[in-house]
Amino acid sequence: EAGVTQSPTHLIKTRGQQATLRCSPISGHTSVYWYQQALGLGLQFLLWYDEGEERNRGNFPPRFSGRQFPNYSSELNVNALELEDSALYLCASSLWGTYNQPQHFGDGTRLSIL
Amino acid sequence: KNEVEQSPQNLTAQEGEFITINCSYSVGISALHWLQQHPGGGIVSLFMLSSGKKKHGRLIATINIQEKHSSLHITASHPRDSAVYICAVPSSNTGNQFYFGTGTSLTVIP
């Protein structure tokens, strides 16, 4: 069974640009979560998608957005990139969006803003 | 105050030692997750538990819902256990938002 896959592995952008990160969940999983892990900081919850809809978002500005496609894959878009957006972005999936389902994580996309 | 507090932040142990990592939380939950993050970033879900104790190999996780406290134990620690261990609690009060501890960085020395 293929795990959660994320692309690209690394992404280098400059301030003001836009970045798109992609995530494919485990087959059969309908929920996708996005997290940010800045250097030296803990994981921060970004977004939760389930059955194609945004169900919840963390304390991040609107320039962080995303969507979930009919095949349950997801993309995270970050507009007007700022230096502090440099971080590891992790995607996780679960069978469905309840808090008592284990989450399976991808290896992450490391976004660097120059 | 953070919703999830972990201790210690850093831990160095000799191979073979018994290790305990603690997690306290303040939000209402029905389940708690322990995650392992290796250098490079990959995260593996170790346990999800809502009561009592779970064991997987040399790893044991316990939770006390009344006291809002969980512990992760590693018996006979090994250098390959070196990683960051993260406690995560999904809050049923906030639409499935997960709160994370800052992690415990474990180094096991041969």
Residue A40 has pLDDT above 80, yes or no: no
* Stronger pLDDT, A73 or A101, i.e. the higher one: A73
Query: What confidence score (pLDDT) does residue A111 get?
Result: 97
Q: Please report the pLDDT score of residue B110 as a whole number.
A: 95
* Percentage of chain A modeled with pLDDT above 90: 75
Higher pLDDT, A104 or B20: B20
C-alpha A29/C-alpha B90 separation (Å) is: 18
Residue A114, judged by CB atoms within 10 A of its CB (0-12, 13-18, 19+), counts as exposed
Nearest residue in chain A measured CA to CA from B31: A100
Confidence (pLDDT) at A6? 97
- Residue from the list A42, A92, A102 with its beta carbon closest to the beta carbon of B102: A42
Residue A93 distance to chain B (closest CA, Å): 11
Contact B100 A41 (CB under 8 A): no
Q: Are A42 and B86 within 8 A, CB to CB? A: yes
pLDDT more than 70, % of chain B: 93
Q: How confident is the model at residue A103 (pLDDT cuts 50, 70, 90)?
A: confident
- Mutation target among B4, B98, B99, B104 for the A interface, most CBs of A within 10 A: B98
d(CA A62, CA A24): 23
Report chain B's mean pLDDT, rounded to a whole number.
Answer: 89
pLDDT, average across residues A15-27: 97
Quick one: pLDDT at residue A41? Answer: 80
pLDDT at B93 over 80: no
- Contact list, B92 vs chain A (CB under 8 Å): 99
Nearest-angstrom CA–CA distance, A58 and A64: 10
Residue B29 confidence (pLDDT) = 72
Closest Cα in chain B to A91? B43
Q: Do B96 and A55 touch (CB under 8 A)?
A: yes
Q: How far is the C-alpha of B2 from the C-alpha of A55, rounded, in Å? A: 23
Q: Which residue has the higher pLDDT, A34 or A40?
A: A34
pLDDT at B94 > cutoff 70: no
Test the A interface: residue of B97, B99, B104, B105 with most A CBs within 10 Å:
B97
